[in-house]
Homo-oligomer: A and B are copies of this chain.
C-alpha cells in the first residue's frame, strides 16, 4: 500500500484548467506525489510545474507527452488532454507501462473503450475513467440510500446540468465538433451517469436536441424509460439550470443539492423519518476521492476500480451513443 513515505507517483498530461484543479487536490492526498507534468508547450509545462511546486516537492516539466511517459519515476498518468485524444494517450501511457486515470469521457465509442480497457487488462495495469462524481461522498451516500432499499422500489430519477456557453468561441472545446464538443460529452455525461448508476440501461430513450451553430448539440432534453421507472435528464449550453439530481421510490426520495456532481449535501425525505439534510465536509474540490480510489486500487494490485469498472465505462459510453443516436434520428 502507498503511504506518505512511499507515495504513488503521478504524472499529468494536458495542462488545462482541470489539470490545475486536479493538481491542487493531489497535493492534499499524502499518499500521492506529483512527479511530472507534460505539455506540448514548454512554457506551459514550466509554468504549471512551478505553480504546483511545494517546499518538499518539485514536479518535472516535460515538453511533449512522450517525454513524461518515458520517465521511470511516473507510476500513474492522469490524462487531461482534449476529449478527442483521450484514447490515443491512454493507449500510449498503458503501452509505456503506466497506470492510467483518464478524464471523462475516456473515449467516444464503446469500441474505443474496449480497446483501451483490453490493453490495460492484458498489460495488468490499472485503468479508470475519471468519473469523479462517482466518488463524491454525498453522491455515494445518495446511491447507498437508493440501493439499500431505503427509498423502496426506485421509480423516478432526475438530473440536470446546464450552463450558458453559447457565447464562447465556436472553435473552443465546448462548441468545436473536432474537439468532441457539445453538451452531451462534456456535461450530459453526468445526468446520464446518474440514471445509469441507479437504474442501469433504459429500455427506451426519447431525446429533444437543440443544435448549436457549429453543429454540436447545444442542449439535450432526455427521457429514459425503464419497466418500472422513468428518468428526466437535461444538459445544456443554452441555459443555466439549478443542477440538482434526485432519486425517488415507493418509500421516499433523496436529493443532491446544487451543484450535484460536486455537492456537499443531500436531503433525504421519507414519510416516516421526515426530511433530513446531511452535510459532507469535502476535502479539496472533490478530486481527492477519485485520487484515493486510484491509490487504493493500485496499492491492492487491481486493474480496475470495483466502483467504476471497465464494464461501467463501456455501458455508459454505449448509453451516451444511444442518446446521441436518438437525438440525431429526430
Quick one: which of A96-145 are within 8 Å of B by CB?
A: none
B252 contacts A240, CB within 8 Å? Answer: yes
Size of chain A's interface in residues, with CB distance under 8 A? 46
Report A109 CB to chain B, min CB distance, Å.
28
A253 touches B249 (CB 8 A): no
Given known contacts A230-B208, A234-B232, A250-B164, A242 and B255 CB-to-CB distance under 8 angstroms: yes
How far apart are the CA atoms of A234 and B275 in the complex, in Å?
20
B-chain residues with CB within 8 Å of residue A253 when the two chains form the complex: 162, 240-243, 258
Interface residues of A in 231-259 (CB under 8 A from B): 232, 234, 236, 238-244, 246, 248-255, 257-259
User: Residue A221 at the B interface, CB < 8 A?
Assistant: yes
A269 contacts B by Cβ under 8 Å:
yes
In the complex, the answer to whether A151 meets B240 with C-beta atoms within 8 Å is yes
- Give the segment of A21-29, A63-71, A152-160 that binds chain B: A152-160
Complex: A249 Cα to B221 Cα, angstroms: 15
Count the copies: 2
What is the CA–CA distance of A32 and B270 in the complex, to the nearest angstrom?
A: 35
A262-281: which residues lie under 8 A (CB-CB) from chain B? 267, 269-271, 275
Whether A208 contacts B236 by the Cβ 8 Å rule is no
Q: Which residues of B contact A240 (CB under 8 A)?
A: 151-152, 156, 248-253, 269-270
Any chain B CB within 8 A of the CB of A223?
yes
Instruction: Indicate if A53 sits at the interface (CB-CB under 8 A).
Output: no
**A58 within 8 Å of B (CB atoms):** no
Residues of B within 8 A of A257 (CB): 267
Q: Is B248 a contact of A156 with CB atoms below 8 Å? A: no
Bound CA–CA A155/B162 (angstroms): 10
A151 → chain B, closest Cβ, in Å? Answer: 7
Taking CB atoms and an 8 Å cut-off, the chain A residues in 143-199 that contact chain B are: 151-156, 158, 160, 162-164
CB of A242 within 8 A of CB of B258, answer no
Is A305 an interface residue when CB atoms closer than 8 A count as contact? no
CB pair A232–B221 under 8 Å, yes or no, is yes
Question: Quick check: A248 and B252 within 8 Å, CB to CB?
Answer: no
Q: Is A225 an interface residue (CB 8 A)?
A: yes
Known: A221-B223, A230-B221, A234-B232. A241 touches B158 (CB 8 A): yes
- What per-residue 1/0 map shows which CB atoms of A209-240 lie under 8 Å from chain B? 00000000001010101000110101010111
9 interchain residue pairs of minimum CB distance: A155-B239, A242-B255, A242-B246, A241-B248, A242-B253, A240-B253, A240-B248, A232-B232, A164-B250
Binding site for B on A (CB under 8 A): 151-156, 158, 160, 162-164, 206, 208, 219, 221, 223, 225, 229-230, 232, 234, 236, 238-244, 246, 248-255, 257-259, 267, 269-271, 275
Name 28 A/B residue pairs within 8 A (Cβ), A-sorted. Answer: A152-B240, A153-B239, A155-B238, A155-B239, A156-B162, A156-B241, A158-B242, A162-B248, A164-B249, A164-B250, A164-B251, A208-B225, A208-B230, A219-B230, A221-B223, A232-B234, A239-B248, A240-B251, A240-B252, A240-B269, A241-B253, A242-B246, A242-B248, A242-B253, A242-B254, A243-B269, A244-B255, A253-B258
